[in-house]
Structure 1
Amino acid sequence: MHTKVKRTGRSFRNWKYFLNLIPVILVIFGNLSGGWFTLLNFTFSFIVLGIAEILLPEDHTNDDWIEDELPDTLMFLSVAGQISALLSLIYGISTGIISGYWIITAALSTGGSSGTLAIVVAHELIHRKHKIWNFAGRFLLFTVFNPYFYIHHLRIHHKYVGTDQDPVTAKFGENYYHFVGRSISGQMNQSMQMEIQRCKINKLNPYGFNNYLISCISGYLGILLLSMIVWGWEVSAALVLQAIFANLLLEYTNYIEHYGLSRMDNERVNEKHSWQSDKLISRFLLIDLSRHSDHHFHASKPFNQLLSYPDSPVLPGGYASMILPALIPPLWFKLVNNKIPKHFSQKP
């Protein structure tokens, strides 16, 4: 058992989470500069961080969290950063600072930040009960055109993780490419069915704007149409591309967080049903998303209080360094399959 240490004051641990803002700063600079600078965040997030994660040590500390205002300050800055990143992308393209093929690199770099900042922070905020923070989380998901995560993650994934009823749990022997299609379609279908059921119970039109998914999708179409009219099709295409890339990163994290870890339907979720990593890069640039075991064990716990468990399965690398193996199925299976505890079902 871990003993919680609650203190007040300043914590260096809470300051380290501000590293999460580096990608969005690089994105904004790149979008306002154009050319090769649009590759800054892509290079930093997917090459520099991957190498750094291999070289840097792990941080298993559990008793260093402090209760102060820094985590909330980071959440506010993250929302502001995401808004600024998208506005800089729109501005860069509409003014000609970004043109030609650089629009693609700018969109991918922006999408990289959307995936590592906006969606990760949204994941934290939708778990919060306070209406303003919860709305901020849903807003961040809106910026990446994701209508289902808010519903599915809270009401389905946490309840059914590790079972066949959860499409977000990657099965043993399933590669990333197969998982992406199954996961997204499964989440969309289950979320839509849940929204239809909710509307019917509350005697609302299940196929109108009372349906959260339908209202979000309508909003996306309106935004894209407006941006096309005001700034041109290149801006709309860039917004779509950054959203697609961000959601592919989301599905990558979904893939590595639960791959091959199953449980019985009547078995309570515990710290053994999610992969964990204490790699420094994964911990602090992703606000401890890599301590996913504790998140599922105690879903309401703030990110800066998540613990590392000695009994949790540990990934052979962190989130930044496991991207390449995940994209090469034979390499992924070689690195991960033999690390899955024997008591878990390992049938494809």
Structure 2
Amino acid sequence: MGRMDVAESLWRDTKRPLWPLALVVPALPFAALLLAATTGWPWAWWLTPVFVLGLIPVVDVLIGDDRANPPEDAVPALQASPYYRWITYLFLPAQFAALVMACAVWIRGPGPAGAVGLVLTAGLVNGIAINTAHELGHKRENVERWLSKIALAPTGYGHFFVEHNRGHHVRVATPEDPASSRLGESFYRFWPRTVLGSLRSAWRLETSRHRLRGRTPWTVRNEILHAWAMTVAMFALLTAAFGPRVLPFLVLQAVVGFSVLEAVNYLEHYGLLRQRNAAGRYEKVDPRHSWNSDRLTTNVFLFQLQRHSDHHANPLRRYQTLRSFDASPQLPAGYATMLLLALVPPLWRRVMDHRVVAHYGGNVSLANTAPGYRPAHPAGRHI
């Protein structure tokens, strides 16, 4: 056995004890409840937004990057280990318990400041749960695919299960993909395009699947209808338990939740474009077509979603085995920080546009650019 073989056989996942930290997010609402109960302070309900969008970006900077990849001989054992799966499974009961608790608090009336914090809290938890649904929904096992739909139910975004797997992964980094943002396109222009476009695309994909089999899409086998039925049933149960006053809260937190997803979509492929080959078809997806981040903290909290290039190349690869590639364009910070930047278009463009241009060696025609947009040179001149 060579020296390299010995080193690989002795490899251990140093992040193994860190992965349960992903469960901190759905636990935060209960910490907020304890804080609110002991202090009577309505601002306690802002604990989750402050943690996710304030503390995590700071810790991200302090901890820095982790670019270590598992050796290929360790991947089969990592993929098969139930430890990693159970962490994703446990996210769901915590997510739903947090939503039920938030409904109870909403009905009691947390005050205006507390109400806004509560909506953001539930929206962030259920928005981040879409990432768990994303991890589960790519797997072949039926139990994981069903758990994916269940995790999507609180945001009413069950069609993501269809559109992401069969739409986005086929059209990623092309103008035809509603979930790939364009250079110069603000998040606020991207949001309606991706929300409506993804919904239409998902329905077309599922309708075509059933019609090719000679049956109507209005069937119990329609995966979108499965997922939406879960949302309707959940909202009906919560309304029966807490009364109709809970419905505005459920709708508002759902909008926040799927907006978190779309903000992540916005930053994952911003301005990146697959080129057409001699046959007029788009080139194969490779590490150049996704923005990546090796920030350790956000990768632990997001099941390594930030190693997005490997995910697109190998959708069945489980989060604990995803790799960092030198060829992938790198974001200057983790997703939590970049999400905040996306909400301020001038800052976003100042940070990201020159990176897109540099990625294409100064040739903006190679980028996925919003119609009519000309990126400014960092010194203020248009390119």
Shift of 1:213: 2.9
Aligned with 2:54 (options 47, 54, 74):
47
Aligned with 2:125 (options 107, 113, 116):
113
Q: Deviations over 1:166-207 (max 9, x none)?
A: 111111111111111101111111111112222222333324
Q: Which range is displaced more, 169-178 or 10-19?
A: 10-19
How does 1:115-264 map onto structure 2 within 5 Å?
115-116=127-128, 118-207=129-218, 209-263=220-274, 264=276
Shift of 1:102: 2.0
Kept after mapping to 2: 8 A contact 1:42/1:108: yes
Aligned with 2:326 (options 303, 306, 310):
310
Q: Deviations over 1:245-288 (max 9, x none)?
A: 11111001100000000013430001111001001222111110
Q: Deviations over 1:202-243 (max 9, x none)?
A: 333324555433454454344434433431233222222221
Kept after mapping to 1: 8 A contact 2:174/2:368: no
Kept after mapping to 1: 8 A contact 2:183/2:270: yes
CA distance in 2, matches of 1:111, 1:11: 32
Aligned with 1:83 (options 81, 86, 96):
96
Shift of 1:10: 6.3
Q: Which range is displaced more, 105-114 or 292-301?
A: 105-114
Report the count of equivalent residues.
344
Aligned with 2:303 (options 281, 287, 292):
287
Shift of 1:99: 5.3
Structure 1: which 5+ residue stretches go unaligned? Answer: none
Match of 1:277 in 2: 293
Residues 148 and 8 from structure 1, CA distance in 2 versus in 1: closer, same or farther, beyond 3 angstroms? Answer: farther
Residues 8 and 229 from structure 1, CA distance in 2 versus in 1: closer, same or farther, beyond 3 angstroms? Answer: farther
SS at match of 1:272: helix
Kept after mapping to 2: 8 A contact 1:281/1:320: no
One-letter code of the match for 2:96? Answer: I
Shift of 1:162: 1.0
Q: Deviations over 1:45-98 (max 9, x none)?
A: 11111222233311111137762332112012111211211122123334x274
Kept after mapping to 2: 8 A contact 1:60/1:278: yes
CA distance in 2, matches of 1:266, 1:93: 49
Would you say 1:72 and 2:85 are equivalent positions?
yes
% same residue: 28
Shift of 1:309: 0.4
SS at match of 1:63: coil
Q: RMSD over aligned Cα, in angstroms?
A: 2.4
Would you say 1:38 and 2:60 are equivalent positions?
no
CA distance in 2, matches of 1:277, 1:323: 13
One-letter code of the match for 1:22? Answer: V
Q: Deviations over 1:287-341 (max 9, x none)?
A: 1000001111111110010000011100111101112221111211111112121
One-letter code of the match for 1:197? Answer: S
CA distance in 2, matches of 1:130, 1:7: 28
Shift of 1:6: 7.3
Match of 2:28 in 1: 26
Match of 2:377 in 1: none
Kept after mapping to 2: 8 A contact 1:31/1:106: no
Match of 2:375 in 1: none
Q: Which range is displaced more, 42-51 or 224-233?
A: 224-233
Normalised to the residue count of structure 1, the TM-score between the two structures is: 0.90
SS at match of 1:129: coil
CA distance in 1, matches of 2:9, 2:88: 21
CA distance in 2, matches of 1:85, 1:7: 41
